[in-house]
A and B are shown apart, each in its own frame.
Chain A
Amino acid sequence: MKQLILCLALLYPILTSCQPITIKGSVINEEGTPLAGATISIKQSGKSTLADSKGNFTITNTRLNDTLIVTAIGYQTATVPNNERGLISITLRRKITQLDETIIIAYGTTTKRFNTGSITKITTAEISNQPVSNPLATLHGRVPGLLVTQSSGVTGSAVSIQLRGQSSLDPLLSRNDPLFIIDGVPFESGNIPSNQLSSAAVNPYQVAGTSPGGLSPLSSINPADIESIEVLKDADATAIYGSRGANGVILITTRKGKAGKAKLTLNISNGFSRPSSSMPMLNTAQYLLMRREAFANDGLLPNTSNAPDLLLWDTSRYTNLQKLLTGNTARTTNWQASLSAGSPGTQFLLGMAYFNQTNVFPGSQPYQRYSSHINLRHKPASARWDLQFSAIFSADDNKLLRTDLSKYFGLPPNIKLTGPGGELVWQEAGISYSSLGFFNPLAELLQPYEARNNNLSASLVLGIRISKNWNLRVSTGYNNLTTNEKSTQPKASLAPENTTLASSQLATALRSNWMAEPQLEYNGAFAKGKLQMLLGAAFQQRQEQLTSIQATGYSNDLLLNALSAAAAVTASNNSEQYNYQAVFARLNYNFGSKYILNLSGRRDGSSRFGPARRFANFAAAGAAWILSEETFFKNSLPFISFAKLRASYGVTGNDQLGNYRYLDLWLSTTNPYTAVPGLRPSSLFNPYLEWEKNNKFETALELSFCGNRIMFSPAFYIHRSSNQLISYRLPNQTGFASVTKNLPALVQNKGWEFQLTATALETKNWSWKLSANATLPSNKLLSFPGLETSSYNAIYTIGQSLSVIRKMKYTGIDPATGLYTYEDYNKDGSISTPGDLQVLGNLDPVCYGGISSGLQYSGWSVDIFFDYNIQKGTNYLAYQYLNPAGFMYNQPLLVMNRWQQPGKQSAVQRFGATAASPVFTASSRLLASDAIYSDASFIRFKNLALGYDLPASVLAKGKISSCRFYIQAQNIYTFTRYKGTDPETKSFYQLPTLRTVLAGIQLTF
């Protein structure tokens, strides 16, 4: 019997294959949505048909052995054998394009296709191509809406980040930083400089429009450990972070292990750096010419009191201070090793790295970072639970000087710095440098500064599958950043006449943060759509303990590191706590892969507010319509392979103010008085503080052409922040210069963001990808009740940007007198403020972004990246307000274009020698005028990465599975007309960003 059945079974196809059959079927996608317009063709006969609006199709006269080929735009082609029953359901899988890559969002993941919010993802490739030590520096120009500015070229220095414009009124007093989250755990140190002591990373002269600098806590994270960085911008993406999403959220996800054979990767590189730009200064001959001309102009005779540099010092001496102080070549060494392996149930990744970079200052001040990274995922085959653990640990040691030596470029070029034996010189011809306000910059080399950071960030996520639809997830995390600083000033580094004794400062900061977030998730179907729900709670506690110790009066420079050797030690400490609690929910409904609605809400409580005002609610709604899934769209615009229209609106908040600002607190004075301890008011307090609220609206179109080869996305956003929490400036008559308070001013940031990516070439051997982005921001102060009588009346104007230039109008140099002149705006016959202030534009970037190209040919790859910024910036004249050209300070070579005789046109006023000269009054007004701003637009050849992979045929014999050689360069060339050093740092007396070239090899076993 069995044989008979078998026989029939074998015969059956032969018997039936000759008979024509009619096939009925339907084509759907993975979500079960019918794919109207899919083409179904018979391979053998070439016969074809289209699926109708319900995805159904019928083909007659087919044969049993025929093969069906089903195609639809954006989907992988399916090959299906004919089925004898004649009724088949065909599921097409989406082509894995950029549209379907995973994007990390708050408490979950999505894809670009179904995302309703505004998120930009930076991939590991973009990060690893850049030879930088700080992960934030990799974001330059790559994210529309994100303005990244390096504060200085000193290793470990701060990087300022501003998402979609300035929302806070006083950027120097209030912070506008996004929330940083590493593997789900808030990195509480954020972007606030981690240093307590001053170092070379701090900007020595802060003029309006330049950054204060400091050390960046994020530089303790090794960029090579990062898998992706997602920048969350609009309300839909950030509202679930409620209180802290107002300035955007930056999610950093670390790399994970993959199932498969063990893979060991080694990556070794070496490189060097130099300052990317410099400003030529006067040499001694030019300097003497300037000084003598200044005295002649003032009708004064140089004497030993006002001109020791001309009369008492050697006028034939010349030191190129720029070359001497910042002319070193910095060296970079980078070693990385990682091991990844795993089974389907368990995967892990272990990484270790060492990074070393020296400075361009004389001597060796290395920045060293040891970092390790572990990631483990475990999911037993039949269990209900799974586990994910990740941790990064890094120890860095930043050896710097106490001062950025660029500060000293203004010393006279004939100053004597060392004696015949190389010893430091403090005076020449009886005129001590300290009496002139000078300091020997070479003595700075004896004043080391060191910052050691230990950073641990760990997270554990436990997932439990309760039922088919319900999942419970508990995320817990901890991070700890310990910063130890030490700064010493030996007697040998101090002027002999200085009363200050050898001293040292120690500072310790312990910052820790734990969080726990239980979440309940539902995934299921509801009314023909897919429903996702998330309910969660968050608990977080942050603690900060700061200690600083000042020790003075060391009798011996050799004992500077022993506190017990100091004659006097004073210490201070501070301890703060921040508790934070929230419940949140999200509902995501995807109907037919066409209409997506995303609602999120959060109730937040923060200990930073007084008991009555601790809680606030935040919510957002986002919606997306995938137009390209509509039949009419497919029919009428077949060349558009994907189109999505999305919009979102919501409210997010901000509690970035200091802790305890609602309390009237007193703290200990630095010193006791007659042995009795003293107390002083710590700051003004405000018991009425409440949450700042930011309303955000965004709408965007996402388009893909030619089978997703070209993707283009314009986005438009309006953010309005109200009830701002700011450090409100106060006149000093109140006892303090500011108070934290809510201000009913309304600030609007509005802008367009464009992103274009294109695959220009895609063949077996060639691949060429291009991308560009542009941001056109605009900032406006919409309202400010009581502005006229407020402390900001002289700074802001309603209807103008917050960076409005409200200054006196600079009207050039009077050809008759050779002095800077300013417009008498109120025609009162005198040049004075505030009467002569007028609105003269603003300092907002007009447009910024980046352009990149990635070309690959078999094993070769060439990636280039440009970033650009069209903006105005502070120029070199800003530093002339107190030391006008002609005084006993060196000046940029540009000053030689000065006024010399009546009728002469020039860019710099006539030289003057003393404060009694009218030159001084004219230049002291520079800072109150728009003369200090000029075009600071630039296009920077930011990054070049060349790589070559040895072909597999060469490697086949050895155990090496891949071998890659590469060269990377950063800040290669800047195209600019800027009158200063670096249009990015915009600070003349600060180390410009560095140009780095690096070569390396990456081996995988």
Chain B
Amino acid sequence: MTTIQFRYSILLACILCCSSCKKFLAIPPPETQLESLTLFSNSSAAVSAAMGLYSQMMQSSLSVSNGAATLYPALSADELYNTAANADYDAFRSNNIQFASSTGLTRLWTFSYRNIYHANAVMEGLNASASIPDSLKKQLRGEMLVVRGFHYLCLLRLFGDVPLITSTSYSINQSMPRTATTEVYNQVETDLKEAYNLLGFAYTAGARTRPDHFTAAALLARLCIYRQNWPLAAQYASEVISSNRYALNPVLNNVFLSASNETIWQLSPVSTTVNTAEGNLFIPSSATTRPVMALTSWLLDAFEPGDQRKTSWLKTNTVGGQPYAYPYKYKVRTGAPPYSEMYVVIRLAELYLIRAEANLQLNNLTAAAADINAIRNRAGLPNTAYTTQPALLTALMQERRIELMFEWGHRWSDLKRTGTADAVLQTIKAPGWQPADTLYPIQQYELDTNPFLIQNPGY
């Protein structure tokens, strides 16, 4: 090889090296993840995207959809108290929430919006997809609308006006101010009504672990009593009750079993060791251990004599001579799959109480009394003795208080929506109680990162 050839061959090698730059940089997407466009061109992947939301809802113990929406309002109201000092629980129990940083607020707020984003992302993916069959699109969209609506119902009841997020665009969402409660309710109503029309009448996966048409109807009924739309509340509740798909479980101990026919929608646990986060938190490890949460004397005193719910849904441990009654609706503390208990989101008993309340407000007293009695009789109590509208209303709220105790914060919401929170809590929760405590504060981080968010009054 002459020197000239040698030099040219080197130059050629250099040129070859420098070509095809763009190709070298075009790398495939990561093997273990799916690009949105690819995902929503495949039906089973799209189903997985929706299933992922349920899995996420049950992934973190005591996130909003897995215990927090029960626990914190129960502490803030008059249902439960924590038996040992705990800064997070103490703050909610004493209605003195430090919004600078609060585990409870993170569990309620952050996880709600994480799930809402997920639902929005699935819906946007479905909208953009050309290859997923319409029937599946409708089904999944309906389910996502139910989940989104459900989360907004939780948020509204805890925080008042909240930002209404209906897309995945962070550039829009990051500066979204609070939306008026009415407007959020309107959105929830629209969502649930759409889902009501989109969703089929059969459970997609046997165990009622995904919402269907009647789930939408049941949540619409719940929404309607919050909006005091009594006729519609009665209508939706009736539809569910008279569908004959569900029945009040005659055995109180079986109401929360995963096979219970009373359940309208339940979330399947995903943990390999725990069924429900509530069962795991509330039930102490042994008969001699002090439970973490115990019933307040106010709730214990509210039971009528002979109420079987006091024996079926409560249990007592005596530690150091002091009895501690603890929630025992869920009876499984630990357990591997198959799960004997799942996390019930909405069940038929609530629908009876909703219809009763609607009928009372509409002055259909007999029908209302019948529904109240259905619940009372199941609990081993006689028919209600009251006949007048105000008396029956009081009886109804009492029934809600016991039947739905430490379940999704119903007591806390009922006190607020009936305007009785102040009257009830002022005396028993003194001196910490202030009227403004009915709404939880927004965490400092959220206020800092979104200057358009305004703190709730009183914080």
Contact = CB atoms under 8 A, between A and B. Distances in A.
B446 A731 contact: yes
A676 B96 contact: no
Interface in A683-714: 684
Contacts of B205: 674, 676
A732 B17 contact: no
Interface in A455-498: 464, 466-467, 470, 472, 496-498
B48 A678 contact: yes
A516 B163 CA distance: 52
Given A672-B270, A679-B39, A791 B449 contact: yes
Contact of B268 (A467, A573, A674, A792): A674
Interface string B269-297: 01111100000100011101110100000
Interface string A548-586: 000011000000000000011010011111111101000
Interface string A640-663: 000000000000000000011001
Given A673-B54, A788-B451, A583 B18 contact: yes
B319 interface: yes
Interface in B411-459: 432, 444-453
A437 B273 contact: no
Given A674-B209, A734-B117, A739 B87 contact: no
Interface in B1-43: 3, 6-7, 10, 13-14, 17-18, 21-22, 24-37, 39
Given A665-B29, A915-B91, A732 B110 contact: yes
Interface stretch (A71-79, A747-755, A922-930): A922-930
A887 B87 CA distance: 10
B337 to A, nearest CB: 9
Nearest to A582: B21
A515 to B, nearest CB: 12
Given A834-B447, A915-B94, A497 B6 contact: no
A499 B170 contact: no
Interface in B300-355: 319-320, 322, 333-334, 336
Interface residues of A, number: 104
Contact of B34 (A497, A665, A733): A665
Interface stretch (A396-404, A428-436, A893-901): A428-436
B452 to A, nearest CB: 7
Contacts of A793: 448, 451
Interface in A584-627: 605-607, 611, 614
Contact of A579 (B25, B54, B286, B448): B25
Interface in B86-127: 86-87, 90-91, 94, 96, 98, 100-101, 109-110, 113-114, 116-118, 120-121
Contacts of A770: none
Nearest to B444: A833
A668 B83 CA distance: 38
Contact of B113 (A665, A679, A732): A732
Contacts of A667: 32-34
A669 B59 contact: yes
A501 interface: yes
Contacts of A734: 113, 117, 165, 170, 173-174
A432 B336 contact: no
B200 interface: no
Contacts of B289: 430, 432, 497
Contacts of A882: 87
B384 interface: no
Contact of B273 (A520, A553, A676, A680): A553
B176 interface: yes
B180 interface: no
Contacts of A583: 18
A586 B86 CA distance: 64
Given A663-B29, A680-B56, A915-B90, A430 B273 contact: no
A766 interface: no
A408 B167 CA distance: 44
B29 A678 contact: no
A682 B272 contact: no
Contact of B36 (A305, A467, A665, A924): A665
A576 B30 contact: yes
B71 to A, nearest CB: 15
Nearest to A603: B21
Contact of B174 (A437, A574, A730): A730
B168 interface: yes
B254 interface: no
A567 B336 CA distance: 9
A664 interface: yes
Contacts of A121: none
A869 to B, nearest CB: 29
Contacts of B24: 539, 579, 581, 605
B53 interface: yes
A665 B448 CA distance: 28
Contact of A681 (B94, B117, B334): B117
B174 A791 contact: yes
A670 interface: yes
Given A304-B320, A518-B13, A678-B48, A732 B32 contact: no
A500 interface: yes
Interface string A319-351: 000000000000000000000000000000000
Nearest to A570: B272
Contacts of A888: 85
B51 interface: yes
Report which residue of B21, B59, B284 has the largest number of chain A beta carbons within 10 angstroms of its beta carbon: B21
Contact of A305 (B13, B83, B109, B173): B83
A51 B348 CA distance: 109
A795 interface: yes
Nearest to B120: A735
B156 interface: no
Residue of A431, A432, A667, A733 with highest tally of chain B CB at under 10 A: A733
A663 B35 contact: yes
Contact of A666 (B13, B34, B284, B449): B34
B294 to A, nearest CB: 10
Contact of A665 (B30, B83, B333, B445): B30
B174 A928 contact: no
B273 A552 contact: yes
B273 A924 contact: no
Contacts of A606: 25
B376 to A, nearest CB: 35
A991 to B, nearest CB: 25
Given A674-B268, A882-B87, A577 B27 contact: yes
Interface string A57-80: 000000000000000000000000
A769 interface: no
Interface of B: 3, 6-7, 10, 13-14, 17-18, 21-22, 24-37, 39, 45, 47-49, 51-56, 58-59, 83-87, 90-91, 94, 96, 98, 100-101, 109-110, 113-114, 116-118, 120-121, 163, 165, 168, 170, 173-176, 205, 207, 209, 268, 270-274, 280, 284-286, 288-290, 292, 319-320, 322, 333-334, 336, 432, 444-453
12 contacts: A437-B84, A466-B6, A496-B285, A497-B285, A576-B30, A666-B36, A667-B32, A667-B33, A730-B170, A735-B173, A793-B451, A921-B96
Given A670-B270, A673-B51, 13 more contacts: A574-B32, A665-B33, A667-B33, A668-B32, A671-B271, A672-B51, A674-B205, A676-B205, A678-B52, A733-B450, A734-B173, A735-B116, A924-B98
Interface of A: 304-306, 312, 429-432, 435-437, 464, 466-467, 470, 472, 496-501, 516, 518, 520, 535, 537, 539, 552-553, 567-568, 570, 573-581, 583, 605-607, 611, 614, 659-660, 663-674, 676-682, 684, 729-737, 739, 788-795, 833-834, 881-883, 887-888, 914-916, 920-921, 924-925, 927-928
Query: Top 9 closest A-B pairs, CB basis?
Result: A735-B117, A678-B52, A568-B272, A497-B285, A791-B449, A671-B270, A678-B55, A664-B36, A794-B448
